[in-house]
Chains A and B, each alone.
Chain A
Amino acid sequence: MTHRLDRSLQVSALSRVEGEGAMRLVTAGGRVESVALEIYEPPRFFEALLRGRTMGEVTDITARICGICPVAYQMSACHAMEDACGTNIPVPIQDLRRLLYCGEWISSHALHIYLLHAPDFLGYDSVVELAQAHRPLVERGLRLKKAGNAILQTVGGRAIHPVNVRLGGFYRSPSRAELQELAVTLRSALDDALATVRWVAGFDFPDFAHEHEYLALVSPGCYAIESGVPTTDRGLSFPVRDFESHVIEEQVPHSTALHARLAGRGRYLTGPLARYSLSQQWLSPLARMAAAQAGLGETCRNPFRSIVVRAVETVYAVEEALRLIDGYVPPQPAHVDLIPLSGKGFGATEAPRGTLFHRYEISASGDIVSARITPPTSQNQAAIEDDLRLFAGPRLELDDHELAHACESAIRCYDPCISCATHFLELTVERRL
């Protein structure tokens, strides 16, 4: 193969990611000069169109930021508004929220593992091709995804943009009998989830480790999903209300998504790898055992192995859903009323892709004065670009097609959700002399 020093390679439409974007890689003198994730998702201006709406509309509006993790948006929004109004949420409602959120984790993780990411490890272009060769495997993934959606449908009314969520709780509490039916589905989903961990643990993972600081919510004693304290693996911890003084967002010309960094510290990573590394000690015994058998230690720094971490989190979410259903007492009433109070409120939850922060300022009459939403993908973008630089460096010998393919699958490790980039992949490799 001829070794060219200057190259320009473009993957103009990244596939199997949520939303649309591109990647541009510039090499010079046989070294990577720059990597840019170009997000060309058209801006939808959510933060602006929330202004002047009434606070009660926030759950229906912010859900529409992302069809893959609407519950995450609804939950972060509820927490922020409840914080602004000083409302305490009774434990049974908190538990029902956690159950709903487990549904989203299961559904979103199964989607990513089976439909978006596994084809890369096995050399297929899509799940349809994968199914032609391994139909029972794909059927297992679809069953698992369906089990997650069943929770979303029963508790939320529908899987995409649930209608049953409101500030303060729910419109209606599902009955015990409705949830018992779910439990039957979930018990077999647990076997599917465990089999998934064994399956993905056997994939071939490139040798790769990054050094980013990890940020996730931590809630000592349980694996943080719907609440917790922002914490990093290097000793930083701060209340949710201080999020914006620690996380600085900047606009970059090549993207409609803002880039984030930790003040005085730099780029960082949020998402399954961060959560696992900060909270694995609080996984259920079964999930911990599955993790150990899959070869995961106390931390995981290889983004390619995130598929294993997602599978372990899926096991946990299924078990956690079963536990919550077992102890379920329908909250009566299903919600508490919020009394609007002029001021600011802050909320953060763990979306399947990482920490999702919301901040609202509301008026005494309950109108939204301003809104700030920081989704996981924009927090991760700088770290992803840095990893791609490291990853592509030793692989410049590959031809353009192979290199593009390798980089694209590296990007998919982060499960970037580009639609979520409220404020925002094509791969171009430019090889210069």
Chain B
Amino acid sequence: MKPKLAVWKFASCDGCQLSLLDCEDELLEIAAHVQIAHFLEASSASVCGPYDISLVEGSVTTPLDVERIRQVRADSKQLITIGACATAGGIQALRNFADVDEFRSIVYARPEFIDTLAESTPIAAVVPVDYELRGCPIDRGQLLETLSALLNGRRPRGPLHSVCFECKTRGTTCVLVKGTPCLGPATQAGCGALCPAYGRGCYGCFGPATGAPAHAKKVFNLFNSGAPS
């Protein structure tokens, strides 16, 4: 029996699950090694759990989501959160600092129809998570490495260093030298130091690096504002 892979969506932009479909060279190979048991964006056929690997995109923002993620957890051997929404509440976690009723009434004329929680919560705040992939969106290479590790029964390798390290590997001149502000030193590696390669400072879409000092986490106020400290 091939291992069963499921992909779940919570509040998100679909970008992280699209990263899987963006593995153009590997997609059919992956499909040969797993049974894609639930992946609404890609398939109409859905198979019941238990699932060997569940990839979870998005944050928890409605009362129904809380029930849903508990069920997914109960049905999954390994649960991997993919992307800043799932690991840190995502951009929608900006509401955590605002009045949600006001938010609702700015967008909707009849806010009473809209069911939503006051906060956008990372998945790990509701259920235990086995591995997490950072980024907004996640890096395809990291996704492939994680899937292949899990399918081969080894621990996935995740980078522990910061974006700075990746700039050095890539040979990019530090943008701080030109006076461009950059969150690279405090941001977890994984993207390959993309922004500095395009002459802009890192804006922290992979969230705080492990070991970044607590006061530094304040700067992750856009895509990873709900990151656990």
The answer to whether A and B belong to the same complex is yes
Inside 8 A of B110's CB, which chain A residues have their CB? 251, 253
Report the tally of A-B residue pairs with Cβ distances under 8 A.
Answer: 179
Interface 0/1 of B127-140, CB less than 8 Å to A: 00000000011000
* Other-chain contact of A18, B14, B24, B100 (Cβ < 8 Å): B14
Interface 0/1 of A224-240, CB less than 8 Å to B: 00000000000000000
> Which residue on A lies nearest to B139, using beta carbons?
A158
**Is B9 part of the binding interface, using a Cβ–Cβ cutoff of 8 Å?**
yes
Bound Cα distance from A70 to B104, whole angstroms = 24
**Is A380 part of the binding interface, using a Cβ–Cβ cutoff of 8 Å?**
no
Q: How far is the CB of A320 from chain B (nearest CB, A)?
A: 22
Interface 0/1 of B107-138, CB less than 8 Å to A: 11110011010001000000000000000110
Bound Cα distance from A48 to B40, whole angstroms = 29
Contact B22 A256 (CB under 8 A): no
**Is A287 part of the binding interface, using a Cβ–Cβ cutoff of 8 Å?**
no
**Is A203 part of the binding interface, using a Cβ–Cβ cutoff of 8 Å?**
no
Contact B14 A157 (CB under 8 A): no
Q: How far is the CB of B47 from chain A (nearest CB, A)?
A: 11
Q: A42-B65, A65-B13 are in contact. Are A48 and B42 (CB under 8 A)?
A: no
Q: A49-B103, A68-B14 are in contact. Are A61 and B136 (CB under 8 A)?
A: no
Q: A48-B106, A157-B194, A256-B114 are in contact. Are A419 and B28 (CB under 8 A)?
A: no
**Is A131 part of the binding interface, using a Cβ–Cβ cutoff of 8 Å?**
yes
Bound Cα distance from A160 to B138, whole angstroms = 9
* Other-chain contact of A51, B46, B58, B106, B120 (Cβ < 8 Å): B106
Contact A172 B199 (CB under 8 A): yes
Contact A159 B43 (CB under 8 A): no
**Is B195 part of the binding interface, using a Cβ–Cβ cutoff of 8 Å?**
yes
Q: How far is the CB of A14 from chain B (nearest CB, A)?
A: 8
Bound Cα distance from A43 to B95, whole angstroms = 11
Contact A172 B42 (CB under 8 A): no
Contact A161 B27 (CB under 8 A): no
**Is B10 part of the binding interface, using a Cβ–Cβ cutoff of 8 Å?**
yes
Inside 8 A of B200's CB, which chain A residues have their CB? 163-164, 166, 171-172
* Other-chain contact of B10, A42, A127, A163 (Cβ < 8 Å): A42
Inside 8 A of A171's CB, which chain B residues have their CB? 195, 198-200
Q: How far is the CB of A264 from chain B (nearest CB, A)?
A: 20
Inside 8 A of B15's CB, which chain A residues have their CB? 64, 66-68, 70, 160-161
Interface 0/1 of B4-31, CB less than 8 Å to A: 0000011111111111011011011001
Q: A157-B198, A256-B114 are in contact. Are A131 and B104 (CB under 8 A)?
A: no
Q: A45-B92, A60-B203 are in contact. Are A128 and B43 (CB under 8 A)?
A: yes
Number of interface residues of B (CB under 8 A): 63
Known: A142-B27, A160-B15; 6 extra A-B contacts, CB below 8 A, are A20-B9, A42-B61, A43-B116, A44-B11, A67-B16, A111-B18
Best-buried of B39, B103, B191 by chain A (most CB within 10 Å): B103
**Is B145 part of the binding interface, using a Cβ–Cβ cutoff of 8 Å?**
no
Q: How far is the CB of B182 from chain A (nearest CB, A)?
A: 12
Contact B108 A419 (CB under 8 A): no
Q: How far is the CB of A152 from chain B (nearest CB, A)?
A: 10
11 cross-chain CB contacts under 8 A: A16-B42, A19-B9, A43-B107, A47-B107, A67-B18, A111-B21, A126-B36, A128-B42, A149-B24, A160-B15, A163-B194
* Other-chain contact of A125, B13, B41, B43 (Cβ < 8 Å): B43
Inside 8 A of B147's CB, which chain A residues have their CB? none
**Is B86 part of the binding interface, using a Cβ–Cβ cutoff of 8 Å?**
no
Contact B104 A45 (CB under 8 A): yes
Contact A43 B41 (CB under 8 A): no
Q: A45-B104, A48-B98, A131-B31 are in contact. Are A163 and B195 (CB under 8 A)?
A: yes
**Is A28 part of the binding interface, using a Cβ–Cβ cutoff of 8 Å?**
no
> Which residue on A lies nearest to B113, using beta carbons?
A253
Inside 8 A of A129's CB, which chain B residues have their CB? 45
Inside 8 A of B212's CB, which chain A residues have their CB? none
**Is A323 part of the binding interface, using a Cβ–Cβ cutoff of 8 Å?**
no
**Is B226 part of the binding interface, using a Cβ–Cβ cutoff of 8 Å?**
no
Bound Cα distance from A258 to B195, whole angstroms = 35
> Which residue on A lies nearest to B60, using beta carbons?
A42
Contact B36 A128 (CB under 8 A): yes
Inside 8 A of B108's CB, which chain A residues have their CB? 43, 251, 258, 423
Q: A43-B104, A143-B24, A256-B114 are in contact. Are A67 and B13 (CB under 8 A)?
A: yes
Bound Cα distance from A163 to B110, whole angstroms = 36
**Is B90 part of the binding interface, using a Cβ–Cβ cutoff of 8 Å?**
yes
Contact A66 B28 (CB under 8 A): no
Bound Cα distance from A157 to B113, whole angstroms = 40
Bound Cα distance from A71 to B225, whole angstroms = 24
Interface 0/1 of B41-63, CB less than 8 Å to A: 11111100000000000100110
Inside 8 A of B22's CB, which chain A residues have their CB? 145, 149, 159-160
Bound Cα distance from A131 to B86, whole angstroms = 31
* Shortest 10 CB-CB contacts between residues of A and residues of B: A67-B15, A126-B43, A48-B103, A125-B45, A42-B11, A142-B24, A146-B24, A44-B92, A48-B106, A15-B44
**Is A415 part of the binding interface, using a Cβ–Cβ cutoff of 8 Å?**
no
Inside 8 A of A163's CB, which chain B residues have their CB? 194-195, 198, 200
Inside 8 A of A253's CB, which chain B residues have their CB? 110, 113
Q: How far is the CB of A113 from chain B (nearest CB, A)?
A: 13
